[in-house]
Structure formats: C-alpha cells, structure tokens
Structure 1
Amino acid sequence: MIANSAYLQLLRVFEFAYDGSRIPLPLGSQRLLALLALNPRGVHRGAAAEQLWPDCTPSRAAANLRSALCRGRRIRSVTVIDSSGHRLRLSPAVDVDLHALRAAAQQHSSRQRPLPADCDPLVGELDQELLPGWPDEWLSLERQHWDQARLHALESIAQQLQETGAYLLALQAAMTAIDIDPIRESAHRIVIEIHSAEGNTACALKHYQSYRELLRQELETLPSPHMTRLVEELSSA
C-alpha cells in the first residue's frame, strides 16, 4: 500500500486504498475496477456490462454498470475511472500491484534486472494468486497470463541463484513454481539440476521418480526425453 496515492491490490485479495487508508467498496465497483485494471486500454461500456453480469438481461446489466460507476468513478478526491464516450478506463492516478509486479517478473525472466540481496520477499510476492476465490469467467485468461509470467520469473530466479551457489534459495524459488503448476516440467528439471549441483544425486533421482509417477497418474505420460537424458547422466556419473 502506497501512502498519498490511490492504490489497487488485485493479488491475494482485492483492496482499494487512498492516502494509506483502506476504503471499502461494493462488490459491483470492485469487479469493475478489477476488469479495467486488467484491460489498460479500456473497455467499452456494453462489453463491461456483458462480462461482469453475463447472466443478466442487457438492461439489468447496464443498470448494474451504472450503479458500479456511480460508486466507483470517483473515490475521495481522486478520479478512479476515466470515461471517453462509451469507453471506460482505469485512471493513471491509480497504482496497481499487478502491473508493477508483472513488469518486475518480465525483467527478471529476461535477466534485465539484478536479483535483490534478499530474494525471499520477491519469491513471496510471485507466489500470490490473482483475485483467488472470484468465480468470474473473464478472469480465467488473465489468471493464465499472470501464472505464466510468474512461473518464468521464478524459474529464472532459481537458475540465477543456483549459478551463484545459493542452493537453498534456488530450491525455494523452484518449489514455489512447482506449487503453482505441479505438472510443468521445467521447474522440476531445475530442482533436479540444483540437487545435482549440490552433489545430492539420490535426492535428484527421487524427485525425478516422484515427478514421473505424477505424470503417469495425472496424464498417463512420461517426462520428456530431455529430462530423461538428464537423469540418465546422473545415474551413470
């Protein structure tokens, strides 16, 4: 939360704050602000009403949108929603936690930003889900985008930490990625590489066997040839 500004939190829980104070909003306004925050270019009024209230008639959805706008357009002394014709946008005066962390995730994925001295807070932030518990269908694709961004960042962080010999922190970052997507092979492969770098061949083989069993049970498939060759090299070393 940032003092002396409007701040919208979408990760872990929804929260709107101004000047350091949390401000409660009705659910309709919360959902509208979230939709606009996830669509920086703006959303047509009709599309916003249809996405937010898909089970309502067009007239009822439009009425719900007007109510959400009335309560969320301006909060305290700040304009939160800008409108131009039939298009709605979140005001640039509102800082959004997802935007800042997504930019950081992209920079860490491409190694454009150096790792902080203490990576625990960063890994903890990347472990946060996008509006967990919200059932809205329009959030599904946005959650997938966020998950991919944070998975790539966590894997890059784990690899960089491994390269510096910070094996425990590297494992924590890789295991956080696995918690997000247990099926994703690249994160499991990094864990095996970290164990191998530490000289813990047995741990590496055990992790591979657990992952192979998971794939067999969930998807009736096997790890990739790339991963299998990696483990075979460990076994023959």
Structure 2
Amino acid sequence: MRMASAGCTVVSVLCDGARLELLRPFEFTYAGSSVSLPMGAQRLLAYLALQKDGAHRCAVAEQLWPDCSPFRAAANLRSALCQGRRMGSVTVIDSVGQRLLLSPSIQVDLYDVWDSARQIISGLNSVPDNWDRLAGDLSKELLPGWTEEWLFLERERWSQTRVYALESLAQQLQVAGHYLPAVQAALTAIAVDPIRETAHRIVIEVHLAEGNVASAIKRYQDYRSFLQQELGVGPSPQMAELVRDMMPT
C-alpha cells in the first residue's frame, strides 16, 4: 500500500478491503471498519463513484457546490480531498492531471448490482440462484435521504435500470414456472414504478397460469382504477385483452 504524501496532494493508492455503500445510507468501510467522514468528503466519494470515467476538478467543484463562487467551491473541493485521504492515512482518489477518479481498488455495491442487472436484462444468464437477494438489491434507492441536484439524473438512470431488470427477472422466473418468485419480483418492480404497466401484466399472467382468475381480474381492476385516478387513462389494449373474456358483464 502506498501512503499519501504530506499536504493535500492526491495520489493513486491501493486500498485493500475498502468498500463504498451507495444503495443504503452512505457508508465507507476500510479493513472491515466503518470510517466516519465529513459530509463534503462523502459527497465527493459518492460523486466520483457515479462518474466512472472521472471528472475535471472544476466540474466536480461546480456540481458539488453549485451555490458557491468558483473560488469558494474550489476551496471546498480541496478541503474534501484532504478530509477524504484520512482513511487509514491513505487516499482513495486518483488524480490524473486535472481529472479526479475513484480508485479502481474501491469496491462499490452499486457496481456489483448494476452488472447483475445488465446481465438479467440482456438474457445472457439463466435465472440466478440468488434471485431473491438480487431482487432485494434492485429494490434499494440510490443514496436515500440525499437531496443533491446532481443525484436526480443518476437516480433516474438507476430506477430505469432496476425496473427493467426486475421485470426481466420476473419474466424469466415466470417462463421457468417459478410463479411465486415471479410475482415477488414483479411486485418489487411495481413498488419502484407503480404506473408502469409491464410488471402488472406479469402478475396477471401468473395468476392466470395458476388458474387464479379472480386474483387476475382484481389486479386488473385495481390497476385500471389507479391509472384513472392518477392520469385519467386506462390500461393498454394488450393488458385488457388478458382478461377480456373473464370480466363480469
């Protein structure tokens, strides 16, 4: 492990056993222990974790401290960099010219889940044995409780990815005849985006496959009422077709 030099110079280091948690309240652990960091350092690490190709110092300062003057924002960035390196006396940020990057040696929970989500969406893998753990990870919000503007787009990207992954997982489980897990994955997707129709259709299809006609009709009626109340529209013709011949006259 290479130690940081004196002052606030940021150097590349290997930080074995370091992990950054973003799919829960922010936490940085090093050598198995949680490290207490000032908010400025937390925001810096989280921002760089979400910018996998790194970012220019000026852009980082502007994004993290948008209400400050350029001079003040730059000073805040220098302070966060100094605070961030006090993790076992090493830094976890690489500096390449004017660009800052999170060290590739840092494990980030979001990366692991995102990779699994992409594999599920692409259909490259069969249904994973740990589908329930994956569904639980996909249900988690990115940095809950944080209100920074730079997070809005990142949260939207994460929400879209996890909804598609949960729907793909539910469809794969349904095709494999694993009906209860399929419904659970679909309901997790609905909790993330209750307006989106795909997961509701999967639940209806599973109910019909099991012969639970009444449950399928109730799901359809509940969703139809929800859409009418929220948006003043009805379900798609494809969804209505699923229960058309079973609806009470």
Q: TM-score, normalised by structure 2?
A: 0.89
Find the counterpart in structure 2 of residue 91 from structure 1.
103
**97, 104, 112: which one pairs with 2:124?**
112
**191, 195, 198: which one pairs with 1:183?**
195
CA-CA distance at 1:92 after TM superposition: 0.6
**184, 194, 207: which one pairs with 2:219?**
207
One-letter code of the match for 1:110? Answer: S
Partner secondary structure for residue 76 of structure 2:
helix
Cα separation, 1, equivalents of 2:207 and 2:83:
54
Cα separation, 2, equivalents of 1:70 and 1:181:
40
Find the counterpart in structure 2 of residue 126 from structure 1.
138
Deviations along 1:80-115, one digit per CA (max 9) or x if unpaired, are 111122111111111111011101001011221232
Return closer, same or farther for 1:90/1:74 CA change in 2, 3 Å cut-off: farther
Find the counterpart in structure 2 of residue 161 from structure 1.
173
Find the counterpart in structure 2 of residue 70 from structure 1.
82
Partner secondary structure for residue 83 of structure 1:
strand
**70, 79, 82: which one pairs with 1:58?**
70
Q: CA RMSD in A?
A: 1.7
Deviations along 1:186-211, one digit per CA (max 9) or x if unpaired, are 11111111111111111111111111
Find the counterpart in structure 1 of residue 11 from structure 2.
none
Deviations along 1:56-99, one digit per CA (max 9) or x if unpaired, are 12211111111001111462254311112211111111111101
Query: Deviating runs (4+, > 2 A) in structure 1?
Result: 113-119, 233-236
Structure holding more helix per residue: 1
Residues 113, 134 of structure 2: 8 Å contact kept: no
Q: TM-score, normalised by structure 1?
A: 0.94
**34, 59, 72: which one pairs with 1:47?**
59
Residues 16, 105 of structure 2: 8 Å contact kept: no
Residues 25, 144 of structure 2: 8 Å contact kept: yes
Residues 174, 182 of structure 2: 8 Å contact kept: yes
Partner secondary structure for residue 75 of structure 1:
coil
**179, 197, 218: which one pairs with 2:230?**
218
Find the counterpart in structure 2 of residue 30 from structure 1.
42
Partner secondary structure for residue 70 of structure 1:
helix
Cα separation, 2, equivalents of 1:20 and 1:225:
53
Partner secondary structure for residue 58 of structure 2:
helix
Find the counterpart in structure 1 of residue 112 from structure 2.
100
Cα separation, 1, equivalents of 2:58 and 2:130:
46
Deviations along 1:142-171, one digit per CA (max 9) or x if unpaired, are 111111111111111111111222211111
Cα separation, 1, equivalents of 2:233 and 2:196:
13
One-letter code of the match for 1:130? Answer: L
Cα separation, 2, equivalents of 1:17 and 1:4:
11
Cα separation, 2, equivalents of 1:195 and 1:228:
15
Cα separation, 1, equivalents of 2:218 and 2:230:
18
- Return the structure number with greater relative CO, CA threshold 8 A, min gap 6: 2
Cα separation, 2, equivalents of 1:111 and 1:126:
17
Structure 1: 5+ residue runs without aligned partners? none
Cα separation, 2, equivalents of 1:107 and 1:74:
36
Aligned residues: 234
